[in-house]
Amino acid sequence: MKNRIVLWASAGSLVAAGWALYALAAAPMTFADPVMVLVQLTCPITILRSFPIRLEWVMLANAATYALVGLSFELLRQRLHLAK
């Protein structure tokens, strides 16, 4: 179970890094762009858009968010598996 949570956290940091690379490659992005809906769904720290946050902190926060989501999914999966 620990390995799966580490995978969830790794996926969270990779998602944040991917969006950072996309933002660098794309034209200047604003929060009115339609793609920002996807960014806010997959990287919840972007809701705090009025504060400048370094990429390292964004990746760490996204990893922690995905780890918590992964933990809840794994606990739910474990309970459903034990109920059978």
- The predicted-structure confidence for 33-67, as pLDDT tens digits, reads as follows 888 889 889 998 888 777 788 889 999 999 999 99
Asked if pLDDT for residue 9 goes beyond 90, the answer is yes
Quote the CA–CA distance of 75 and 58 in Å, as a whole number.
26
How far is C-alpha 8 from the geometric centre of its chain's CA atoms?
Answer: 9
Instruction: Return the half-sphere exposure (C-beta side, CA atoms, 13 A cut-off) of residue 66.
Output: 22
Using left for φ > 0, alpha for ψ between -120 and 50, and beta otherwise, residue 13 falls in: alpha
Q: 18 is written with which tokens?
A: 């991917």
Q: Rounded to two decimals, what is the model's pTM?
A: 0.84
Quote the CA–CA distance of 59 and 69 in Å, as a whole number.
15
Find the helix or strand (DSSP H, E) in which 36 lies: helix 35-42
